[in-house]
Amino acid sequence: MKTDTAPKQKQTPTRLADYTPPNFNIEAVSLDFDLNPKETTIRSQLTVTRLAPGPLVLDGEDITLKSVSLDGKTLKRSDYSLTQTQLILKDLPERSLIEIETVCNPSENSTLMGLYVSGGRFCTQCEAEGFRRITYYPDRPDVLSVFRVRLQADLKDYPYLLANGNMVESGALDGGQRHYAIWEDPFPKPAYLFALVAGEFDILEDSFTTMTGRDIPLTIYVDPGDASRAEYAMDSLKRSMKWDEEVFGREYDLDRFMIVAVRDFNFGAMENKGLNIFNSSLLLADAATATDMNFERIESVVAHEYFHNWTGNRITCRDWFQLCLKEGFTVFRDQEFSADQRDRAVQRIKDVKALRMRQFAEDAGPLSHPVRPSEYMKIDNFYTATIYEKGAELIRMLKTMLGEDDFRKGSDVYFERLDGTAATVEQFLESFEIATGRDLSQFMRWYEQAGTPELSVEVESPVNMPVSLTKITFTQKFSPASGQADKQPVIIPIRWQAIGDTGPITEPQLTLLKSKENAVSLPDMGEDFSLSILQDFSAPVILKTRQTSKDHLRLMGQDPNAFKRWEAGQTLARELIGTQAKAIESGQMPKVNKALRGYCQALGKTLDDVNFNSSFKALALTPPAATEIIQASETSDPIAVSLAGEWLSRAIGDTLHEDLLNLYHALSDEGTFSPDAHSAGRRALRNRCLSLLASRQDPVVAGLAIEQLGTATNMTDELAALMTLTKLGGKRVETSMTEFFEKWKNNPLVIDKWFSVQGMRKHDSGIEAIEALVNHSAYDPRNPNRVRSLIGSFAMANPHMFHAVDGSGYAFFTQQVLDMDSRNPQVAARLLGAYEVWRKLDAKRQGLIKAQLRHVIGAAPSKNVMEIANKTLGE
């Protein structure tokens, strides 16, 4: 059907300040899908009631409108207006029944939004604005409705027909050729939580008995042959259900719970009500094909999506500016779940590492935005580390400030008061105010101000006033980034403690820094001490102190807070790498100094310390990544930084050679595989030893890696050996890569790993090697996992080639992003985020990247890519 206006993309942003509630409520939705890959017909019936004067605005994109009727009467083309993105009905009565028929083509849908086909199966992705690719509908999160869904499809190709809620009816059609199923979801939900799946699957079944004794069947749907690989996900699901009852008092609500794994998926996974859909890379695992990191991620993402049932589904977001309301809280919940299932200190270290790598980098660059942004062009671009990870940090600070009991009281009030609604961040905080009587108005600034605050600490040695006191002054500072000039002080919970040479000399303290500056006093302890500040990383800030390596070494050895022990080592390493990188840039030779020796010796002590588990030790032995160093300095040559990192690893490998080798042998394979935290920690430490040893280019170590590659009985060890070999370089790398490919060519998830190792390694033949991989028969540019494996790892983890000073890495990358953009703008825009680092690079590379960004803008890309390119360039 023809549209009223010519296709034109509006380039005006959506603003939080412009929010207006919907004019109509949708009492009920009934959807009827006649599923065919090339032409699917959707008949929708909406019972609408008026809430406010004005037209009914229905969103729609890339679908063909066949007919519209109002209360049984087919409307003429002049009765409504239709644009590229909207169907508008005016002068509707108080209550009416609207029926709409549309057609779409799932097999040609390469955006992976709306209804599409993956591996011959139908599936949907509707968050954030995908439902409008299925039918005309008020596609906004504050319109909640109960859905009834009827699916019909060919029986042979699509034996399973799934949708949200509970199945109420099913049966045969056309003498058994086709069949149908009807699903009802009694919980009102916005359209973004709608899902359907149809196809042939293997299933894994189990059940969970809830706290009130309800028996819930659990089913995971996977590719034929993969059922046993879903066992860990199923186990994680049951543990998540139990944990949410115990820790947040949240019980599951529907009669059944389903998870489906698909291979083509834009993000990680999706919390559709009662029917979670997962990227298969975050669901399938067994010892032979998945690494410990995969198991860990599966556990946390399964929990994350399950937890959304309350934080996201029962209480959803009023508008997309409130995205952190569901994502920040849910990430916090999954982090706490993992901490309880595994090791709390180790979990905190990993979460902080990820925060610094992704969120601090984002906040230090041109894409910096508040946890609750005030405007956007494409909401797809706001599924960011800031919304997710910083959003979770805010909830964590809230808990630190309120304490465990009051935090729980507040969350109970939240669930009680706002159940069944589409809420705002203000309403969330208000629930905690009601529960505790505290005023949280200042805390709201954390949501509104972009950028990472700096926390400085000054210590003045005791002066004899009446009594001898040490004065500690905390100061906060925001840099005026991202168009927000004058930022107000935020409330910063600071956990700290004074540590002497034999251990703590004060109790742990909690200071709430509310204004720009605040001083506390400490009675003279009569001994020298170092301050352990931000224990457990009690606030997402950048810490500035005058602490010396003596302080860091003392904390590494004596701090009772495991997080800070790790952190002290990281701080030392960051300084060592930073200094070394500058030296390399100016053409100097690496130097061994006292600080380096002290650091390596302290690591040696950590290795011997029986109080630490293997996971902690593996983390302590991992110096900060180049991204962290780059983001913390003014500008740098990324290759020099990465060489400096290699230099530090080599220094550790040299100094601790004996210890590392002994440990490597002592930690050898335990025999039967278990993915639990303890066994995973052993493997992590052992492989960390191997990697550090390999930084020495030692033939003995190459022998160990080759042997490990040949004898490994699990993917963690196999992949670690392969990566170590690629680091060592030489002819055997090619053979090992080829053998690995041949061995695993039938397992897509392992071949993704192969592509990512290819993307990360320094190929002798230069960029042509990566270009050849794009033309490899196993490379599929339509599959986001594969593209991310090769192109994503190339841009994020291959500094030598991506940042090649001749610009060849950038040129190749840009071309790949534009190619992806023609199919899948969402994934293309995410990839393009790799350029956000440009202002932190040297002048030459800044110029190269700016030229690339201008090229992207000139190529008339999608709105998604345009937004990222414009913002990154910032011109």
Span from 132-140, 264-272, 463-471, 728-736 in contact with ligand PHE (CB under 6 A): 264-272
Q: Whole-number minimum distance, CB 440 to ligand PHE, in Å? A: 25
Contact at 8 Å (CB) between 121 and 61? no
Query: Which 201-260 residues touch ligand PHE, going by CB under 6 A?
Result: none
Q: Whole-number minimum distance, CB 441 to ligand PHE, in Å? A: 28
Among 59, 264, 271, 836, binds ligand PHE (CB under 6 A): 271
Rounded CA separation 163/182 (Å):
8
- DSSP character string of 591-660: ---HHHHHHHHHHHHHHH-TTS-HHHHHHHTSPPPHHHHHHHSSSB-HHHHHHHHHHHHHHHHHHTHHHH
* Bridge partners (DSSP) listed for residue 818: none
Q: Whole-number minimum distance, CB 384 to ligand PHE, in Å? A: 11
Question: Can you give the three-state secondary structure of 359-400, one letter per residue?
Answer: HHHHHCCCCCCCCCCCEECCHHHHCCHHHHHHHHHHHHHHHH
Q: Is residue 246 annotated as part of the catalytic site, yes or no?
A: no
Q: Please identify which of the residues 61, 127, 271, 305 carries the catalytic annotation.
A: 305
Query: Which 311-330 residues touch ligand PHE, going by CB under 6 A?
Result: 327
Length of the chain: 875
Query: Which 164-183 residues touch ligand PHE, going by CB under 6 A?
Result: none
Q: Residue count at the site for Zn ion (CB under 5 A)? A: 2
Query: Which 329-368 residues touch Zn ion, going by CB under 5 A?
Result: 330
Helical spans, DSSP H, in 621-780: 626-632, 638-655, 657-666, 677-694, 699-711, 715-728, 731-744, 748-760, 767-774
Q: Whole-number minimum distance, CB 125 to ligand PHE, in Å? A: 6
Q: Whole-number minimum distance, CB 796 to ligand PHE, in Å? A: 20
Q: By CB under 6 A, tell whether 741 contacts ligand PHE.
A: no
Q: Whole-number minimum distance, CB 272 to Zn ion, in Å? A: 12
Residue among 277 and 596 whose Cβ is closer to ligand PHE: 277
Q: Which two tokens stand for residue 116?
A: 């599409």
Chosen from ligand PHE, Zn ion, none, partner binding at 267 (C-beta under 5 to 8 Å by type): ligand PHE
Residue among 272 and 330 whose Cβ is closer to Zn ion: 330
For ligand PHE, the nearest residue by Cβ is 267
Residue among 127 and 718 whose Cβ is closer to ligand PHE: 127
Which value, in Å, is the radius of gyration of the alpha carbons in the chain? 28
C-alpha angle 627/633/635, rounded to 5°? 90
Residue among 387 and 685 whose Cβ is closer to ligand PHE: 387
Residue among 270 and 607 whose Cβ is closer to ligand PHE: 270
The residue type of 220 is I
Rounded CA separation 490/448 (Å):
10
Rounded CA separation 365/838 (Å):
8
Phi first, then psi: give them for residue 600, nearest 5 degrees.
-65, -40
Among 181, 198, 241, 269, binds ligand PHE (CB under 6 A): 269
Q: By CB under 6 A, tell whether 19 contacts ligand PHE.
A: no
Q: Residue count at the site for ligand PHE (CB under 6 A)? A: 12
| 375-376 and 275-279 beta bridge pairing | unpaired
Residue among 306 and 446 whose Cβ is closer to ligand PHE: 306
Q: Whole-number minimum distance, CB 687 to Zn ion, in Å? A: 30
CA distances from 9 to 5, 79, 823 (A): 11, 25, 18
Q: By CB under 6 A, tell whether 628 contacts ligand PHE.
A: no
* Bridge partners (DSSP) listed for residue 163: 196
C-alpha angle 222/226/229, rounded to 5°? 105
Cβ neighbors of 607 (< 8 A, separation 6 or more) are 617, 620, 621, 656, 659, 663
The residue type of 665 is H
Residue among 118 and 330 whose Cβ is closer to Zn ion: 330
Q: Whole-number minimum distance, CB 832 to ligand PHE, in Å? A: 17
Q: Whole-number minimum distance, CB 791 to ligand PHE, in Å? A: 20
Q: By CB under 6 A, tell whether 354 contacts ligand PHE.
A: no
Q: How far, in whole angstroms, is CA 394 from its chain's centroid?
A: 16
Rounded CA separation 141/318 (Å):
6
Residue among 334 and 637 whose Cβ is closer to ligand PHE: 334
CB atoms within 10 A of CB 840: 22
Chosen from ligand PHE, Zn ion, none, partner binding at 127 (C-beta under 5 to 8 Å by type): ligand PHE
Span from 18-26, 140-148, 261-269, 403-411 in contact with ligand PHE (CB under 6 A): 261-269
The residue type of 231 is E
**Nearest alpha-carbon partner for 99 in 164, 40, 29, 163:** 29
Chosen from ligand PHE, Zn ion, none, partner binding at 567 (C-beta under 5 to 8 Å by type): none
Residue among 294 and 826 whose Cβ is closer to ligand PHE: 826
Chosen from Zn ion, ligand PHE, none, partner binding at 269 (C-beta under 5 to 8 Å by type): ligand PHE
Q: Whole-number minimum distance, CB 387 to Zn ion, in Å? A: 10
Tally helices (H) and strands (E) across the chain. 30, 32
Cβ neighbors of 524 (< 8 A, separation 6 or more) are 462, 467, 468, 469, 470
Q: For residue 128, is the peptide bond before it cis, meaning its omega torsion is within 30 degrees of 0? A: yes
Q: Whole-number minimum distance, CB 847 to ligand PHE, in Å? A: 35
Q: Whole-number minimum distance, CB 308 to Zn ion, in Å? A: 6
Contact at 8 Å (CB) between 199 and 121? yes
Query: Which 381-420 residues touch ligand PHE, going by CB under 6 A?
Result: 383
Residue among 128 and 722 whose Cβ is closer to ligand PHE: 128
Span from 220-228, 322-330, 630-638, 668-676 in contact with Zn ion (CB under 5 A): 322-330
Span from 35-43, 268-276, 446-454, 614-622 in contact with ligand PHE (CB under 6 A): 268-276
Query: Which 97-156 residues touch ligand PHE, going by CB under 6 A?
Result: 125, 127-128
C-alpha angle 20/24/27, rounded to 5°? 135
Rounded CA separation 391/396 (Å):
9
Phi first, then psi: give them for residue 729, nearest 5 degrees.
75, -170
Span from 319-327, 358-366, 619-627, 823-831 in contact with Zn ion (CB under 5 A): 319-327
Contact at 8 Å (CB) between 470 and 508? no
Residue among 320 and 744 whose Cβ is closer to ligand PHE: 320
CB atoms within 10 A of CB 228: 12
Among 19, 267, 415, 741, binds ligand PHE (CB under 6 A): 267
Residue among 309 and 758 whose Cβ is closer to ligand PHE: 309
Q: By CB under 6 A, tell whether 297 contacts ligand PHE.
A: no
Span from 66-74, 236-244, 328-336, 701-709 in contact with Zn ion (CB under 5 A): 328-336
- Burial class, 193, CB count within 10 angstroms (exposed 0-12 / middle 13-18 / buried 19+): buried
Q: Residues in the site for Zn ion, rule: CB under 5 A? A: 327, 330
Q: Which residues are catalytic?
A: 305
Q: Residues in the site for ligand PHE, rule: CB under 6 A? A: 125, 127-128, 266-267, 269-271, 304-305, 327, 383
